[in-house]
Structure 1
Amino acid sequence: MSNIDRYIDLILERVEVNKDEYRNLKSELTSLLNEKKENYIRQGFTEIKAIEKTIADFGEADEVGKALTKSFSPQRTMAMYLLAITSVVFTVFVIFKLLIENINIDLPYLWITMMGIMTVLTIFLSKKQLLIARYRMIFILFCFFYILVWFFGILLADGPLDQVIPWISRILAIVLLILIIVNMILGAIYQPVKSQFKSFKTKNRIFIVICNSLSGIIVIFYTLVILFGFLVFGSASDISRLLPAVILTFLWLCSLLISSYRPILIWLSLFIQIGICGYLITVFYSIF
């Protein structure tokens, strides 16, 4: 691999584009840089010196990558950095709240570690945005896992409504959840996972992804609660109690497949999700 190829790869690491756009971008940059290199060679420079001057003229790979990112996914970098910053602030406030309540309390080190890992991965992905595009579904699963860690933090942040710190923690938690969902949505807006999804208008894609995300949060939360309860309190004879959660999760996954592969049936996907969420909200309301 030539120095120019390596330079182009470094630039495109920061750019969230699909495979076709990646190939087109790489082809354009390769042609442009090779043309500049040949001009320097015709001026009498050696090939090595011509490559060095070409790269120097073009600029630092990191800066060029940032400029291209603004064209293809303008809000991604800011959204990722805000997510990382809010995660840190939320974690600090939760720890502070726990300490002022009881100075001798055992801190939730596992949760703190998980929040730290998620924050570091968020910063890493903000600088390697090509990975988000290439592994979109893994990134969405990463966001869902982020929500699970966030939910445990909500439980830790719970406290009397007449105290300031719990209120600040709740506000930070809401902002954190919004930022997680925003990062899930951005990919669908600029680089949809499925080619069928590209035919949708941007506002329709936003609406569909929000519905998929919110319904997914509700369904996954319900499923995990049921599973946790079964593992702690259940027995082999109670396994049938897992059936509703399994059925609802299956229906939700079917709704995702419908919205991804059959755009003409998107109304059916939304109908399924509304029905599932309505039922689960009723269940939660009756319990709590």
Structure 2
Amino acid sequence: MGTARTSTDEVAGERRQLINVAYRLLGSLAESEDAVQEAYARWYALPRSRRDEIVAPGAWLTTVTGRICLDVLGSARARRERYVGAWLPDPLPTRAEWDNGPGTDPADQLVLDESVTMAFLVVLESMTPAERVAFVLHDVFRYPFAEIAGILDRTPAACKQLAASARRRVREARAPVTGAGQADAVRQVKEAWETKNIAALVDLLDPAAVMTADGGGMVGTVLRPVEGGARIAQYMVAIADKAPGLELVERSVNGSPGLVARRGGAVLTVASFEVADGRVTRIWVVRNPEKLRPWGREDRED
């Protein structure tokens, strides 16, 4: 009985790691939760004798989760072609900034680091499913290519090539500014947005900046990226004019400085930023209510 309890605890303890792997592979909290639940369902569907033979349950669960995510990624592109407007990864609050139930939300399990910034996740979206799996598992989680080969059904050498190709995509993307530099830029954007200062916004935005919004067809937003600092500034001010009573607050989004727009305590919009050479180069705006569930309500005093 003691061995069985230890095994059960060990298996249950893998959930946090699996959620972190799945979110980086899928960019969706709901899909990540489904993938991990499916992996556990397959584990418990095994005969007890088969489970006892598995020396490393965590490795088994990771392999199964990886395969499930690979299948999801393969079908996601077709689904996203039918998605209304642009599709963006789910934005993540820090643990202190969400309140959606005691330890039940997958957001509570996630480790926020450079591998979950919106800029990084958007680069991951440009990869093929096989590239993404090979790169995330090897470069982020340090799994050996011999294990990744079992997930992708390819040779370790082929998996190594996939990871190298993915790595080139990451290098080609502009490296964003993090920490104080990004926080300062986001704070200035907030102040200029609140005062509807178009000139100040234009000065803060790179002339070639791009803003992408995700409403999922559930709320109003632009369906195509807004390109150019001047156009983005005009759009932001127009939104401010149409949304009286909207409050902007600085919040960590996927571990980096961002902005949250709320009304009456309800979070309506979460914005992520990429900053380079002192100017904002990319803005990702998530308004799809289904993707904002972990943010709950923000009724506390700031």
- Structure 2 length-normalised TM: 0.30
Which structure has the bigger radius of gyration? 1
Q: TM-score, normalization: structure 1?
A: 0.31
Higher strand share: 2
Relative contact order, CA 8 A, sep 6+: which one is greater?
2
Answer 1 or 2: which has greater helix percent: 1
